[in-house]
Structure 1
Amino acid sequence: MASTVEKLAKSRVRIEATVEAQDFMKAIETAYQKTRGRYAVQGFRRGRAPRAIIERFYGKEVFYEDAIEELWRDAFESAIAEHDLSVVSAPTVNVRHAVEGEPVTLIMECAVYPEVKLGQYKGVEVVNIVPEVTDEQVEAVIERERNNLVRYIEADRPIENGDRITFDYKGRVGEEYFEGGEAKGAQLDIGSGRFIPGFEEAMIGIPKEEEREISVTFPEEYHAEDLAGKKAVFEVLVHEIRYPEYPDVDDEFAKDVSDFDTLAEWKADIKENMLKDAQRRATATMQNEALGKIADGCEMEIPEIMIEGQIDRLLENLQNRLAYNGLTLEMYCQYAGVTLDDLREQNREEAQRRVKNQVALDEVTKVENITATPEEIAAKTAEYAQYVGKSVEEFEASASEDEKKYLEEDVIIDKTLDFILENAVKVDAPQEPVQEEDKK
């Protein structure tokens, strides 16, 4: 099929394709065979009327629309191949000329991947990040492990800070008990800050099986508006008091929670792994900064459909995160006091940034002819197979062509980002200005 392409604004193109008369006639016959059951003609069972009879009753053009539907996809794909177009949307299709026995002209408009005029992509400046792991950070990891092995021992004394208690409570404002203010056998770690401010502090010193009353004031911003800012009294009865007993941090502790025989070896391993994680984060941050500057220096027209698609993905990610907490996107909008359209607009700038970065990244890949070698793809495959808990052989046997293509593209993205950072200029972070009072 003969076709021409006209470039339009915003990375859109207009394709004019000519379909030969015989192809149009074949498409009309195909449309008749597929759709003749739709048309009722007196004297014929539905679907049995000859084409000419249906055309006489409903008009000569009755099958044209369905015939065009049969034709445009082939015309579109032929034009894409002929003109090497990278389309990012389905086309709108209009017919300029359609007469049986004559060639048909189709006008199709669609968005294409934007052309890019790449600016500076080597030598962009990024703030150098030197990852560090402090002894305090290592100790925090150890402390979390220690907390996981804590035992709570029953105490025969009044409540102290840090105790875990089991108790009943019933709350009232004035003389009226309020909904949701009562529980039996509730558990609370004193000092955790889970209850209303002042409640846990007031519990300190209360012995077991002795009824007490505690006075507190609900915060002004409390989620239940009928209680916000109000004074309340809680009637409490403590049934059990337990204090925490933590294991000693020594070589035996290290053996229990790790694969190392000594505390020193375990600490060294923790620090090494934390440093690797910090280095990965630092590298990603510097790569993103460099890529963002490269994207800002590019000339490109992003088609709106690419931005809308990225907004869809951002909201889909938000919806997945909300689902972990039992929330939906609609509930989130209700709580935030926004509409779904508002939420889309709030994410537009971030979506534009991500699309620009991706287009710039692809252009650097193309200009530098960055590809993935079989060895690199094999290494990425082994990494991914381990991640999903399969052997390489199992993964390769079950992986689809799309999954294999994704791994190859992942290698190329990694290599391009590495290339960008290797060719960036790392500079020290700007120093904060010294205030006059700091000089004294």
Structure 2
Amino acid sequence: MQVSVETTSGLERRLIVGVPSSRVDSAVDSRLQEAAKTVKLNGFRPGKVPMKVVRQRFGQSVRMEVLGQVMNDSFYEAIREQGLKPAGRPEIEPKSMEEGKDIEFVATFEVFPEIELKDYSSIEVKKPVAEITAADLDKMIDNLRQQRATWQAVERAAVEGDQVNIDFLGTKDGEAFDGGAGEGTDLELGSGRMIPGFEDGIVGMSAGEEKVLALTFPEDYHSEELKGAAVEFKITVNSVNERIKPELNDEFFKMFGVEEGGEEAFRAEVEKNMARELKNAVKMRIKNQVMDGVLEVHSDLQVPKALVSQEIDALRNQQMQQFGALAEKINPKDILPDELFSENAERRVKLGLVLNELITSEKITADSDKVRAALEEMASSYEDKEEVINWYMSQPEQLQQIEGMVIEEEVVEKLLEKSKVSEETLSYEEVMSPPAKEDEED
């Protein structure tokens, strides 16, 4: 077998492989001889069909099968011989396939980049330091009460935060437009559900009152017909309801699994959950800074287009799950083109390649004690913690995810040892609010 390798551009390689005709011929003969033992043709007893006839009837189709197998096997032999690591499937183009002559084919593919781990001392990380104050706890408890509030009809003018039930009709140049009407619609004032000025215009109205609002659709509105359009909305308020928050009593506490101990036990439980969320938010902020630093250090690293394409498909499939049954009726690329995911996909591929190299070079593994600790922390919010832990331990795929999380944390710790770390004092709310879009994407 003759092999030559060309670098066409970047990570792309062109492999030219020549295979002796004897390898193909012997494989074809072997398959035909096996077939002759069982082949059935009219006029011949089973297994007694002359080889010449077998070759005439089946020789061409068998040869095509053998050529495909030989090219596939020869490709993998060639890359092992040349020490190449393909990233993605190759494109194989036959060049010479004539019977009785040596065959030749060209395989074009990308290879994994050679990754040289860099000096990570230039990475700067600000470690958030925050405490949960009494005011933070009070605000969280108020939020929980807000989430479980009920609505009660009131005989007064609506204010922001109230829920109104309305009928409305929108017109443009005196004509109704699609999506501009509703009857018996509940709307919380201040929610931002409607276009600017709509909810503000209802503030001060009472049940039974009507009003016409002259408004303008935003220039970036999704409907071409309504972008920047001047419209009028006729609004009728059917009812005004104010939010009634539940009292801090045993019934309310039981909603959160606090059966005894009263308000003191409830506040302790809420604070414990806040502390867990704060810890995770701090870890995420640190991780994102470390990963951003790794990407900056390896900014010149080329990544295989094939891997980026696979990652784009994976991200798109995740998004398509939100469409439910509708996803089966639409082409994903029509509504979610590659451009939406390309930047994030390249980021993820690059990080994956670098971190895998770091894991290998540092011999990082999932320490069993740390895996157990991670499981215990995850199970801490459940009533039967041991049952949850045992379930994860009995599910290989789920356990593998936990092990991956532990390895990731070990990688971050290794990189922090090499980075410049300083502390940054922040409030609880500042830590819990993502500082950049990347936090959500990762």
CA distance in 1, matches of 2:35, 2:318: 41
1:364-399 Cα offsets, whole Å, 9 max, x none, are 223223334555566678889999997555555553
Judged with a 3 Å threshold, the aligned counterparts in structure 2 of structure 1 residues 174 and 80 are, in CA distance, closer, same or farther, namely closer
Mapped pair 1:424 → 2:419: yes
- Tell me, yes or no, if the aligned pair for 1:290 and 1:421 is still in contact at 8 Å: no
- Map of 1:156-195 to 2, 5 A cutoff? 156-172=155-171, 176-195=175-194
Q: Report the equivalent of 2:69.
A: 70
CA contact (8 A) 2:312 2:342 kept: yes
What's 2:364 paired with?
Answer: 370
Question: What is the distance in 2 between the residues matched to 1:225 and 1:90?
Answer: 43
Question: 1:71–1:50: structure 2 CA closer, same or farther, 3 Å change rule?
Answer: farther
| Cα-to-partner distance string for 1:58-93 (whole Å, 9 max, x where unaligned) | 9x8664332122334444455566666543233344
Residue in structure 2 matched with residue 124 of structure 1 by the alignment: 122
Aligned-residue offset at 1:124? 3.0
Structure-1 separation of matches of 2:224 and 2:97? 67
Deviations 1:217-247 (A, max 9, x none): 2325355555553342515252x33322223
Q: CA deviation at 1:139?
A: 4.3
Distance change >3 Å, CA 386–CA 42, structure 1 → 2? farther
Deviation digits for residues 299-330 of structure 1 (CA, Å, limit 9, x no counterpart): x553332232233233333434x527978997
2:356 equivalent to 1:358: no
Change beyond 3 A, Cα 1:421–1:28: farther
SS in 1 for 2:413: helix
Aligned to 1:246: 245
Are residues 415 and 4 of structure 1, via their aligned partners in 2, closer, same or farther at CA, if it must alter by over 3 Å? Answer: farther
Q: AA paired with 1:310? A: E
CA contact (8 A) 1:287 1:417 kept: yes
For 1:424 and 1:373, the matched residues in 2 are separated by 23
What is the root-mean-square deviation of aligned Cα atoms in Å? 5.0
Conserved in 1, the CA contact under 8 Å of 2:88 and 2:110?
yes
Contact 1:55 1:62 in 2 (8 A): no
> Deviation digits for residues 4-31 of structure 1, max 9, x if unmatched?
6747351537374757936742345427
Mapped partners of 2:390, 2:250: distance in 1 = 40
Query: Does the 8 Å CA contact 1:258/1:266 hold for their aligned counterparts?
Result: no
Q: Superposed, which structure 2 residues align to 1:259-270 within 5 Å?
A: 259=258, 261-262=263-264, 264-266=267-269, 268-270=271-273
Q: What TM-score do the two structures reach when normalised by structure 2?
A: 0.69
The one-letter amino acid paired with 2:308 is I
SS of the residue aligned with 1:117? Answer: coil
Look up the match of 1:12: 13
SS in 1 for 2:86: coil
The residue that corresponds to 2:234 in the other structure is 234
% of aligned pairs identical?
20
Contact 1:159 1:206 in 2 (8 A): yes
Per mean C-alpha deviation after superposition, the further-off stretch among 106-115 and 49-58 is 49-58
Q: Distance in 1 between matches of 2:294 and 2:202?
A: 55
CA distance in 2, matches of 1:282, 1:375: 25
Change (3 A) 1:387 1:258: closer
* Separation (CA, whole Å) in 1 of partners of 2:29 and 2:12: 34
> Which residue of 1 is the match for residue 216 of structure 2?
218
SS in 2 for 1:312: helix
Q: Secondary structure at the match of 1:91?
A: strand
Q: Do 1:13 and 1:112's aligned partners in 2 also have CA atoms closer than 8 Å?
A: no
Residue range with higher mean Cα deviation, 372-381 or 183-192: 372-381
Aligned pairs, number: 410
Measure how far apart 1:269 and its partner are.
2.4
Rounded to whole Å, the distance in 1 between the matches of 2:318 and 2:142 is: 33
What code does the residue aligned with 1:116 have? I
Change (3 A) 1:256 1:292: same
Structure 2: stretches of 5+ with no match in the other structure: 425-442
- Aligned residue identity for 1:416: V
Give the match for residue 436 of structure 1. Answer: none
Once the 2 structures are TM-superposed, how far is the Cα of residue 197 of structure 1 from its aligned partner?
3.9
- For the structure 1 residues 137 and 229, does the alpha-carbon distance in structure 2 shift closer, same or farther, using more than 3 Å as the test? farther
Amino acid at match of 1:424: S
Q: Could you give the per-residue CA deviations for residues 414-440 of structure 1, whole angstroms, max 9, x where no partner exists?
A: 4223211222122579xxxxxxxxxxx
8 Å CA contact 1:133, 1:271 repeated in 2: no
Structure 1 residues 95 and 55: alpha-carbon distance in aligned structure 2, compared to 1, 3 A threshold: farther
List aligned pairs for 1:38-57, cutoff 5 A: 52-53=52-53
Q: Give the counterpart letter for 1:229 in structure 2.
A: A
Is the 8 Å Cα contact of residues 148 and 245 (structure 2) preserved in structure 1? yes
Instruction: Name the residue aligned to 1:293.
Output: 296
Cα distance in 2 for partners of 1:92, 1:173 equals 56
* Inter-partner Cα distance in structure 1 for 2:230 and 2:400: 61
Aligned residue identity for 1:293: E
Other structure's SS at 1:302 match = coil
Which stretch of the first structure deviates more once superposed, 386-395 or 268-277? Answer: 386-395
| AA aligned opposite 2:420 | V
Structure 2 letter corresponding to 1:304: K
Deviation by residue 1:274-321 (Cα, 9 ceiling, x = unmatched): 321221212211221232134237xx553332232233233333434x
Unmatched tracts of structure 1, length 5 or more? 36-40, 430-440
Residues 28 and 63 in structure 1, CA contact (< 8 A), matched pair in contact too: no
2:283 is aligned to: 280
